Structure 1
Amino acid sequence: MTNEKHCNHSFVISRRGLPGIRARLAEKAPVTVAFLGGSITEGAGASDADTSSWRALTGRYLQERFADQEFHFINAGVGGTTSTLGAHRLQEHVLRHGRIDLLFVEFSVNDGSDREESIRGMEGIVRQCRRVSPDTDICFLYTAAEKNLSGSHPFNIAVHEEVAAHYHLPSVNFAARVYEQTRAGRMEWTDLAPDGYHPNDDGHALYAGFLREYLDIALVVEGTVLNAEEERTISPLEVKNYEYGSLLDFRAGIHTEGFELRELSPEDPLMNWRFGTEHLYTDSLEAVYTFNVTGQSAGLLLLYGPDSGIFEYSVNGSSFTSVNLFDEWCPMAHRPILTMFPLQEQRGELQVKVRITGTKDEASKGTSLRIMKILSN
């Protein structure tokens, strides 16, 4: 496949292609396709995420094109999340389902301005997938937002391309296509994504069409295939990447006195999370949550909402550091928010203690803390 370019963008870069799923299709074997990303992958903006999102339309395209093939599709999109959390939830939300033949990864809108952290997340996803599921094809996707619609390489896309190029992964740049068409006067992006981020049905159909153009060729044309040994020995771009990222149940904590088990009720507002909401809750100054992990980093997935307060943490006996994660979305609903504690120079035993401070953001209604998951790497 040729690389189509415009204004320093490459719409499609084939690299190694998709040899694994192409072989499975040729064998008429069952195929599993997973979609890992943020709210756009989950289907936000579509009238029905399971039928009119780009993810659902891509699944329909594959099922119709290979009508005698058995397909399974995994929706691992979670709104408002970055590749850092993506690397830590890869096992629970994707790899635990068994053999994965094709993994689409979409985080270019949600990843922030920290280049190293973005590489840790994207590279962690790739390396963990290669280690656990070496036959999986991986393809990066870049969706549109104001920061990704420019005539030069947008920052987040350029960072993700560093990872894609390093591991010879194909990438499809939806944002570059949108930019090219808006610049040519063929569309207004806000007509297809009124908030500038989340496509409506027409926008999702546009994305699905872009991806279909790539798959029409990639699923029949051979790419450049590295042997398994070459792929296993590729050195990391960032040695502190999240290759070993995982989510652990909050019950893995070794000290939970002062916390109580809770779950949100159907009446409690919740956003960016369609999984269970069981968590540990406290608003007591006497409560301390302690957990141990082995690795280079640790974190927590918290359930933040209207009554969340400021908490503090200590790693391996260090002085406590306070953290205020309350933002403009918190008064509206509960949602998962990730907090990562300082990266260590070497892998080893980490003990983390967390407690509330009894203080809060001026916009919060309380000082509580809700813990859903432990993160370990």
Structure 2
Amino acid sequence: MMKFKTISLFLFIVLMAVFNAYGQGLDEKYYHTHRGSLNNSCQKFQEGEARIAFLGGSITYNPGWRDSLYTYFTHTYPETDFDFINAGIPSMGSTPGAFRFERDVLKNGPVDLLFLEAAVNDFTNGRTPTEITRGIEGIVRHSLREDPATSIVIMHFVDPVKMKDYRNGNVPEVIRLHEEVARHYNISTINLAKEVTERIDAGEFDWENDFKDLHPSPFGQDIYYRSMKKFLEGACEVAQKDEKLKTTQIPGPLDPYSYANGTLIEPGDDYASGIGWELVEDWQPSDEIGTRSNYVDVPMLVGVYPGEPIRFQFEGNTAGIAVASGPNAGIIEYRIDGSPWKKQDLFTQWSQQLYLPWFFTLASGLESGKHSLEIRLLEEKNLESEGRQAIIRYFYYNAE
């Protein structure tokens, strides 16, 4: 009998090892926080038409888990006509997401389900806690104001710094901030950063050979997809029992200056009247440095040399510029309503490699009313930059 028990224990250990080796040792549901329900979107999936948007950075833009979800939805609901919107743009977190929300997410109308991720870029791009809260809350409020029946899922993707935080017993600050917004608006979340960390620590796979990078390998993309699939199955299994669409009562904002009314404005001829500025209708780089979609062959307001300031009039509490920050990015001075001039270096740590789309918020927390933003180029430049240009794709502001 003792020998049988020993053999049984040995077999159990072997089976558990095999179980873990194939990524089945931990249950995905432990990393899912279901708040409210996805009843509305799950109901829409069965009614013949549904619109699903994916808003995030490069991990959303790149092929992988998102394509797997396309297949999941179309196979699970074969009679439904889906409008999938890939609003992922590399390098962009919640602040750009809030200001481009109208253009990129709502371009075909309200969405039934919004997948939202920004935890990686909000951290790597160095956004402050205030910016992170205002950005992610702005996206949520804008979405719910457009259609209170929209379902939202916030996802936290993994990177090495988040893994280190969890291993030290800490919740990464950006995830904590996103979760505060999710709790306030009763939004469900999927914590893939914690899930990947704990699966690696359990010996299911490793980072270097399997998952490989914060831009996951096909193996890592499948880890993401499987967790999302299980989340959706659990949510819709419950939601199918209720046939009534419900609208969300939008609570008051956590931050009264959240970017809930983000707006993009393309520059026109009226902005190029200042000496030293030129409106280029179909801008292209003069070198062989790469660009990003929507930041080439489009109108750009280019500051060629230090001269006169340009002025952007707006009515709201926040304003900034979205630029193509390349190897020749310069330094600007700016001021609001005639206040003292402040400096902003437009060169980033990635500018030597790419004309990087970058959102510089120049003023926020302003009093309600009309304001004037002035911008001028400086003669001085970043020591790593090859020039002194400002290449402006958009002005942006948060309307009243």
Is TM-score (shorter-chain normalized) higher than 0.5?
yes
The answer to whether the Cα contact below 8 Å between 1:120 and 1:240 also exists between their aligned partners in 2 is yes
Take 1:267 and 1:361, find their aligned partners in 2: how far apart are those partners?
19
* Whole-Å separation in 2 of the counterparts to 1:347 and 1:275: 31
Match of 1:180 among 189, 194, 198: 198
Q: Contact conserved, 1:82 with 1:111, CA < 8 A, in 2?
A: yes
1:288-345 deviation per Cα after TM superposition (whole angstroms, max 9, x unaligned)? 2211111001000011111111111111111211111313311122111111112234
Alignment partner of 1:109 out of 97, 114, 120: 120
How far, CA to CA, are the matches of 1:376 and 1:236 in structure 2? 18
After superposition, the Cα gap between the structure-2 partners of 1:201 and 1:252, relative to the gap in structure 1 and judged at 3 Å, is farther
3-state SS in 2 of match to 1:111: helix
Distance 1:167 1:226, change over 3 A: farther
**Who is 2:369 aligned against?**
348
Residue of structure 2 equivalent to 1:197? 214
Partner of 1:30: 49
Residues 248-276 of structure 1 show CA distances to partners (whole Å, capped at 9, x for unaligned) of 112286564332233115974234x3124
User: Paired residue for 2:137?
Assistant: 123
Task: Mark the CA change 1:247 to 1:221 in structure 2 (over 3 Å): closer, same or farther.
Answer: same
Q: Which segments of structure 1 move beyond 6 Å, counting only runs of 4 or more?
A: 223-226
Deviation per CA, 1:214-250, whole angstroms, max 9, x where unpaired?
111212213999953x613x11111110011111112
Alignment match, 1:42: 61
The TM-score normalised by the length of structure 1 is 0.89
Query: In the aligned structure 1, how far is the partner of 2:30 from the partner of 2:340?
Result: 48
Pairwise CA distance, 1:93:
0.4
Secondary structure of 2:208's match? helix
Corresponding residue for residue 374 of structure 1: 395
Partner of 2:320: 299
Determine the C-alpha separation between the residues in 2 that align with 1:135 and 1:266.
47
Asked if the contact 2:55/2:114 (under 8 Å) is kept, the reply is yes
Structure 1 residues 253 and 92, CA, compared in 2 at 3 Å: closer, same or farther?
A: farther
Unaligned runs of 5+ in 1: 1-5, 44-48
SS in 2 for 1:41: helix
Q: 1:12 aligns with which of 32, 38, 47?
A: 32
Whether 1:134 aligns to 2:148 is yes
- Quote the sequence identity (%): 29
Q: CA deviation at 1:139?
A: 0.5
- Flag the structure with larger Rg: 2
Asked if residue 269 in structure 1 is aligned to residue 289 in structure 2, the reply is yes
Identify the structure with the greater helix proportion: 2
Structure 2: runs of 5+ lacking an equivalent: 1-25
Residue 236 to residue 119, structure 1, CA distance change in 2 (3 Å)? same
SS of equivalent to 2:181: helix
Alignment match, 1:160: 178
SS at match of 1:110: helix
Q: Which of 71, 74, 93 pairs up with 2:85?
A: 74
Q: Residue 226 of structure 2 aligns with which residue?
A: 209
* 1:314 correspondence with 2:331: no
Letter in 1 for 2:222: A
RMSD: 2.2
Asked whether the equivalents of residues 41 and 55 of structure 1 are also in contact (C-alpha less than 8 Å), the reply is yes
Residue 362 of structure 1 and its aligned partner are, at CA, apart by 0.8
Output the TM-score relative to the length of structure 2: 0.84
Tell me, yes or no, if the aligned pair for 2:40 and 2:245 is still in contact at 8 Å: no
Q: Give the superposition deviation at 1:10.
A: 5.3
Kindly provide the amino acid, as one letter, of the partner of residue 152 in structure 1: N
Structure 2 Cα separation of the partners of residues 253 and 139 of structure 1: 41
Q: Give the corresponding residue for 1:238.
A: 255
Task: Provide the secondary structure at the position in 2 that maps to 1:129.
Answer: helix
CA contact (8 A) 1:255 1:288 kept: no
* Cα distance change of structure 1 residues 136 and 146 upon mapping to structure 2, 3 Å threshold: same
Query: Structure 2 CA distance, aligned partners of 1:319 and 1:203?
Result: 49
Residues 252 and 291, structure 1, Cα contact 8 Å, conserved in 2: no
Determine if contact 2:272/2:278 at 8 Å carries over to the other structure. no
Counterparts of 2:228 and 2:196 in 1: how far apart (Å)? 13
CA–CA distance in structure 2, aligned partners of residues 375 and 129 of structure 1: 18
| AA of the residue aligned to 1:22 | C
The CA deviation at 1:163 is: 0.5
Note the C-alpha offset of 1:282: 2.2
Decide whether aligned partners of structure 1 residues 335 and 80 sit closer, same or farther in structure 2, where only a CA change above 3 A counts.
Answer: same
